[in-house]
Chains A and B, each alone.
Chain A
Amino acid sequence: MLGAYACYYLFTGLGLDPFAALPVAMALLFCLGYVIQRYVLNLVIRGPMFNTLLITFGLEVVITYVAQIAFSADFRTVNPSYAGANFNFFGATVPLARLLAFGVALGLTFGLWLFLEHTRIGRAIRATAQNLIGARLYGVNPRHLYALTFGIGAALAGAAGTLYGVVSQINPYIGSGLTGKSFAIAIIGGLDKSIYVLAGGLFLGIVEAMTALYIGPTYTDVVSFGILVLVLIVRPTGLLGRTA
């Protein structure tokens, strides 16, 4: 949601193209995510399991309503000159803005995967997820690392928000619904490799589109969350994963 608004104000205020605003929005959200994790979430991270979830809910309430006061509750759209442009590809009409958004999202997902698999920091993140004390013994500073991880997550969510603003309408309340969807996608894909979200996302997207077309648009949530529950019951590791 904040990424979408960052993009909106960069576009309307500075005339920056949404795709050029994307790195700026990511940088802003990274800083915010880093600070939140380092100075708030790190304080409760080893507390009772449920507290991290509740505290992020509290933060979501704060941010949503601050956004409502700052940006107003009006619907906004980011409308670059090519928003309506499309081209014909073997008989299928392809909207340009959506295709670009798809490409960028794909690139970011692959980028994250390569980052987690092949860089020093990526390895440190995965090691900490497996065993905090072990990682610490090998010289990882968990305070910094958790903050970094959350910052990267926030930056990617910000990028997604920017793209969302290009293809859809934004308001201060879009965040919580998208959080639910991202839980579903990550779990359906499987949590052991970050690239699995690609499979989860494509699968869920296609299933939702098919449901809307053949059963009715009001049934998409029945099907997508139904699949989430089924996957959790039958195969809690996700469709592609090995470990829960």
Chain B
Amino acid sequence: VKFSTKLALAGVGIALVATVPWWGSAVLVQFGINALILATLAQSWNIIGGYTGYPSFGNSVFYGLGGYGVAIAMVQYGLPFPAGLAIGISLAVGFAILLGLPVLRLRGHYFAIATLGLAEVMTAIVSNLEIAGRNVGLILPLVKGDALFFELSLILLVVTTLAVMWISRSRFGFGLIAIRENEQAAAVMGVNTTLYKILAFALCSVFSAVAGGIHAYWITYLDPGSAFDVALNVKMIIMAVFGGPGTIFGPVLGAFVLSAISEILATKVTSLASVFFGIVIVAAIVFMPRGFADLVRRFRQSGWRYFQENIRTYRV
């Protein structure tokens, strides 16, 4: 299929999704907002985790800072929503640059644990800040308009995906992939690894912060526990890994599929929903450890043997 045809198809798909608020039920629209925001978060994690190979647990911090930027600006200073978003983005980017500088020197599990530690520190700091409403949190002004939030989330997801698309075919993106595959070799080839890693971290902080801001304004309530929730960070990683990290559409697909599964489970088998969701995660990692994108690519050659091959390759 030619590139222009693909582009047209994608455009039609987006336009169709954009009409959901006009014909969909309130439940569908609300589910849609959540799924779009989760997809944005998975996609922005993809930049640092999928392309650069740095498994960040700090993305929930960006999300939380975005939310708090909006909440503090609107509640404490009576500023409009866009100003709040700008404050949230600057907080998140500042955090990404300031703390990315030391933390991005660590690799693998050490980086993961350091960012996890940062997330816990931020939760604890914010729950002690008077301006952020301490443990109790902040209540934002109420706006009725799920349709508006749906379109905002959709635009955000499209912009984030376009950014990832640009990354995947730009010099910058090739630099990130080189860092993921072999950081020392990348440095020898003339990639400014520190600069690239920080840029990637800052870029993903922008999208996560906007997602946090939109979500906070939509839910009209924010507290430290839910804003900096580490479980949310785990969710974005699982969604990105389920779809295929380091691919353009994998994380979006993963977020939609897993959101739908968890929504269906929650309505069909309420009390056991979380148990089944856990089992889905375990099964997904055992049978398709490289994500859905890899499944689609290699299933054509191997057929059902694909699952067997995966287990054979990775078991001890």
* A interface residues, Cβ below 8 angstroms from B: 40, 42-51, 53-55, 57-62, 64-66, 69, 132, 142-143, 146, 180, 183-184, 187, 216, 218-222, 225-226, 228-229, 232-233, 236, 244
Contacts and interface: CB of A to CB of B under 8 A. Distances in A.
Nearest to B53: A49
Given A221-B120, A221-B123, A229-B121, A46 B315 contact: yes
Contacts of A66: 275
A139 to B, nearest CB: 15
Contacts, number: 140
A45 B278 contact: no
A45 B312 CA distance: 11
Interface of B: 49, 55, 102-103, 105-106, 108-110, 112-114, 116-118, 120-121, 123-125, 127-128, 135, 230, 234, 237-238, 241, 271-272, 274-275, 277-282, 285-286, 289-290, 311, 313-316
26 contacts: A40-B282, A43-B315, A44-B314, A46-B313, A51-B285, A54-B285, A55-B285, A57-B238, A58-B285, A64-B274, A66-B275, A143-B316, A180-B120, A180-B230, A183-B113, A187-B110, A218-B127, A220-B124, A222-B121, A222-B125, A226-B117, A229-B118, A229-B121, A233-B103, A233-B105, A236-B110
B106 A233 contact: yes
A97 B49 CA distance: 46
Contact of B124 (A43, A58, A142, A225): A225
Contact of A222 (B103, B128, B313, B314): B128
A42 B278 CA distance: 18
B124 A65 contact: no
Contact of A233 (B114, B290, B315): B114
A54 B123 CA distance: 22
A17 B285 CA distance: 41
B65 to A, nearest CB: 16
Given A66-B275, A232-B106, A45 B281 contact: no
Given A58-B238, A62-B274, 12 more contacts: A44-B315, A47-B285, A50-B112, A51-B241, A51-B285, A53-B55, A53-B109, A57-B234, A61-B274, A65-B272, A229-B118, A232-B113
Across the A-B interface, the 3 shortest Cβ-Cβ residue pairs: A58-B281, A61-B278, A62-B278
Contacts of B282: 40, 55, 58-59, 62
Nearest to A53: B112
Contacts of B285: 44, 47, 51, 54-55, 58
A69 B272 contact: yes
Nearest to B105: A233
Chain A CB count within 10 A is highest, among B110, B237, B275, B313, for B275
Contacts of A183: 113, 116
A244 B279 contact: no
Contacts of A225: 117-118, 120-121, 124
Contact of A54 (B103, B121, B281, B311): B281
Contact of A49 (B108, B123, B135, B275): B108
A22 B125 CA distance: 37
A50 to B, nearest CB: 5
Given A50-B237, A54-B241, A142-B316, A43 B286 contact: yes
Contacts of A216: 128
Chain A contact residues, majority secondary structure = helix
A225 B121 CA distance: 6
Nearest to A221: B124
B124 A222 contact: yes
B55 A58 contact: no
Contact of A43 (B120, B237, B311): B311
A43 B282 CA distance: 11
Contacts of B112: 50, 53
Chain A CB count within 10 A is highest, among B124, B238, B241, for B124
Nearest to B118: A229
B117 to A, nearest CB: 4
B61 to A, nearest CB: 12
A61 B117 contact: no
Chain A CB count within 10 A is highest, among B116, B230, B282, for B282
Contacts of B277: 61
Contacts of A232: 103, 106, 110, 113-114, 117
A236 B104 CA distance: 13
B106 A236 contact: yes
A132 to B, nearest CB: 8
A226 B114 CA distance: 9
A43 B230 CA distance: 26
B241 A46 contact: no
